[in-house]
Every structure is written in structure tokens, then in C-alpha cells.
Chain A
Amino acid sequence: MFNKIFGLLTSMSTVFKHLFKKPVTLEYPEKKIIPPENFRGKPYVENCIKCMTCTKVCPTGAITIEENEFNINLNKCIFCGNCAYYCPVKAIKMSRDYELGVSNKEELNLVYDIKRGSDNV
């Protein structure tokens, strides 16, 4: 019996000690989190040479390349980074942007100009 009470008390005291510690949670929407440098967020394209490697390594078929347009459909993209890793000229970069919420699904279809690389969404 004494043993049991003692066991409970040690549990309680450990929990109690934590009461006075600083919180470890992040206040995300109020304070923005800056992800690390290698973070795999929204992909950007610049100076693509149209070798088509990325379309073949992408597991979800999110990338389509046309005459002058480079499309990444973020509805399909799983942010695996295969395209960026296997691109021979490192034309695709995974950025640190992670707040990708939009009100219209179409906006997630990124269209890049092959030469300029500008995002003309």
C-alpha cells in the first residue's frame, strides 16, 4: 500500500515540476516559422534546358513541359524533391515557401516561362 502511494507521488511530483517550465510549443500563425535552408517547399524553375528528366522521375506526374511553358501542378506534387535532385543543371529549386493555401484550386497550377523562369500565375 505504502509502495503504491509512493509510486503515485513520484509520478505526480514529476508532472508537477513540468508545470513551472517554459512552454515548448510554437505559436505558429502569430509567429511565423522559418524553415531550414534545405526545406522542400514550393518548387521554382529557372533556366531549364528542357531535357525532360524531371518529368520522368516525378512520381506523381505533376510536371508537364510544353513549348515555352513549364507547368508544375501543386495539386499533384508531393514535395519529394526528386525533380530538383535529378535535374542535370539544377534548374528546379525547392524553396522555403510553405504557406500554399489558395482559395481557387487553379492557382496551384504553377506556370513558369522556360527562359525567364518567371512565375506568371
Chain B
Amino acid sequence: MNEASLLKLNLGPQHPSTHGVLRLILELDGEKILSCKPDVGYLHRGMEKMAEKLSYIQYLPLVDRIDYLAGFFYSELLCRTVENALEIELSERVKIIRTIMLELNRIASHLLWIGAFLMDLGAVSPFFYTFREREIILKYFEKITGQRMMNNYFVFGGVRRDLFDTKDIEEFLSILPSKIKDYEKIIDRNPIFIQRTKNKGILDPETAINGGITGVNLRASGINFDLRKTDYLYKDYDFTPIVLDGKDAYSRYRARVLELSESSKIIKQALEKLKQNTELRQAPVKPIGFKLPEGEYYSQIEAPRGLASCYIKSTREEKPYRLKWRTGSYYSVNLLRKILKGTYLNDAIAIAGSLDIILPEVDK
């Protein structure tokens, strides 16, 4: 094969299926991908550097923007790290409210992904159906937190205001199973969808672990690793992590659909508990002169796109000395180098889409 027959192709940065701005530099021999080089950084906002300039309280509203589809998780992470450092004990109701919001956010995020993934593959109608359901969740978020996406709902030691109305959510949970059935009817047995995803983008467990892949992508490769099982927020809930061993794009899709019902199971239990714990107790936080003791703090959570964690090094000042985020998508983007090699160009979109990459999370 001579050099001249190779084609260099830029996929992105404005490609509709990159869910943000990701540029993939592909080297093609005909239709076959010989190498893939992801080029990230188009959405870099300096989230980590910004933390060093702002106090903890000032920084908290900004972290929702790390992953705008799952903002609650990053709020929770920062709150959790700070609460660990100050040894703040959360009241039971706060914990339940946080669990409800996190799981609703996970459902919203997965719903968006299902729609967007199908859109990548050329199916337009499921996009509208999943967005219709996601809208219910966002409306609820707006009602409780005041905004649809940048919720800024969690504060250190509590939540901004009580969860006062759960009727919408109960209603949503009751219609969700029928909607999931609808998706399954449209998508699961569709021969075009199956052909484009079955046995495409095989991610064997070893590559996944070596590549730092976590979350649904890892569980769809047959490894049972769900941080929620050990998380203190989810301690008293009964749920089973979804583990599938298809290893391909199709089982990654299935795993996310199954997770919808698993999450709604958690929310249902949480709503029950919410009725029994009516007292909302917030830990008092003084807005000025809020400091962490000297030391290093770390905490992690199972975000929709894999393990997310936050590291803070504090030198007893109002601002962190260093703050670092670990996000799931970053590792998924890196995996594209390996997973796209040797596949065909028309599968590249399906494979990249199936990893649920979101770019603000990668570029931070």
C-alpha cells in the first residue's frame, strides 16, 4: 500500500454526531480507518483553573456546566468533597432529595443519549419521543430549582429548597414503562438499527479496563462495576446494576435503556422514604470566610458517563490550591484511537456515538 492512496479526513469539529465539538483526524485507506486521532479542547473553559480564583461558594454554580446534561452529579461531587473535608453530616431528607434528583438527571441524560444516538444513525423520530419525556423531567427541575439545566440546587450541607411537590414525578414514573416499551418497539427489533450496531465497536473488557473506561460502557462489556452499590447515598436502595456481555454498540444501547427502569426503581423507593422523613435540616454555611482545613480530599460518584471524581488540595484558604476533575467521557474519547482502528468509516459514527461522549466534560 503506498502512502499516496491514503486519505486524511477531518470528522468534525462541527459534525452533528459529535455532540459538541470533537474533531477526529482519520486516516483512511478506501473506506477503512487506519488510524484515528481525536483532537479535543474546543470547549475548554478552564474549569479547573477557575476554581483557584474563586471561593468554594462562588465556584459551586459553575460546576453544573462541566457536563450540562448531568449537572447535578458534578454539583453533588463538589458538595460531597467539601462536606467530607468539613465532616458535615447530611440529614436523611437531604440525602433522599439528592438521590431523587441525581437519578432523575440520569434518566434525562440517558433519554437524550438514546435520541441523539438514533439521530446519528439516521432515525429522526425517536429523537422527538425521548425529548418529549425528557421535557417532563426538565420542567420538574425548573419548578424545583428555578432553571432547566444549570440547576445550582445543591449547596454545601444541604439543598437550596425543599422538594415540595413530587406529583409530577410520580406521574412521570408511571408513564415511563410504557414509553420505554415504545422505544423498544421502534428501535430494538428494527433490522437497520441491529445491522448498524450489532457486533460493531467491540470493546473487550481488557481494553476497557486498561483504557480507564467506566460506567455503562464498561458494564456493557460484561464487567460488574457500579459505584452506586458502594455509594452512601444509595446504601438503602434495592437495585441491580445492569451488566450485559454483548461488548458491542447494541448492548451499550440496551444497557442504557435498561438503566432507565433501574433508575426509576430507585426513585420510587426514594419517594416512599421521602414521605417518612419530613424534616429538612441544612448544615449552616457562612458565605464569607468559608474555608476547608488543610489537606487533600477526594470523592467519586457514578455519573451517567462513567466514574466522575473530584480532588481538592486545600491550603486553608478560601480558595482551593488545586482542584481536579475526572470525567468519564475523557477516557471514552481516548478509546476512539483503538476502537475505530480497522473499522469502516460508516461504522465510525455509530461506534463513537455509542460511547456517549459529551465534549464539555472532556475539555472542561
Query: Which residues of A are interface residues toward B (Cβ below 8 A)?
Result: 3-4, 6-8, 10-11, 14-15, 18, 24, 35-36, 38-40, 53, 56-59, 78-82, 85-86, 94
Contact = CB atoms under 8 A, between A and B. Distances in A.
B46 interface: no
Nearest to A21: B132
Interface stretch (B146-154, B212-220, B261-269): B146-154
19 contacts: A4-B191, A6-B189, A7-B191, A10-B186, A10-B189, A11-B185, A14-B186, A15-B125, A38-B146, A39-B142, A39-B146, A40-B146, A40-B147, A53-B287, A56-B55, A56-B288, A57-B57, A81-B146, A82-B61
Contacts, number: 80
B129 interface: yes
Nearest to A85: B160
Nearest to A58: B58
A35 B142 contact: yes
B144 A38 contact: yes
A86 B152 contact: no
Interface residues of B, number: 34
Contact of A38 (B60, B61, B161, B186): B161
A107 to B, nearest CB: 23
Contacts of A53: 287-288
Contact of B129 (A18, A40, A86): A18
Contacts of B194: 7
Contact of B61 (A7, A36, A80): A80
Given A7-B190, A59-B61, A78-B150, A38 B155 contact: no
Contacts of B288: 53, 56-57
Contacts of A24: 132, 135
A104 B249 CA distance: 50
B59 interface: yes
B289 to A, nearest CB: 9
B190 A11 contact: yes
Q: Select the residue from A4, A8, A14, A24 with max chain B CB neighbours within 10 A.
A: A14
Nearest to B135: A24
B185 A79 contact: no
Interface string B277-304: 0000000000110000000000000000
Contact of B182 (A14, A56, A81): A14
A53 B288 CA distance: 7
A80 B153 CA distance: 9
Contacts of A57: 55, 57-58, 287-288
Interface string B216-232: 00000000000000000
Nearest to B147: A40
